[in-house]
Amino acid sequence: VQNGATVDMGNNVVTNVANGTNATDAVNKGQLDEVAG
């Protein structure tokens, strides 16, 4: 993927995404659920 490009997943699910570690990383649902309680 080119820097600054848009990725259209066509309503497909992205799976097996690693946990974000840097402040600019996206988070996965598991990380969000963990902090949301």
Q: State the chain's mean pLDDT as an integer.
A: 94
Q: Is the pLDDT of residue 1 over 90?
A: no
Grade residue 5 by pLDDT with cuts at 50, 70 and 90.
Answer: very high
pLDDT digits (tens, 9 = 90+) for 6-17: 999 999 999 999
Q: What is the pTM of this model?
A: 0.56
Tokens of 29: 């649902």
DSSP 1-37: --TT-----TTPPP-SPPPP-STTS---HHHHHHHH-
The answer to whether the CB of 36 falls within 8 A of the CB of 30 is no
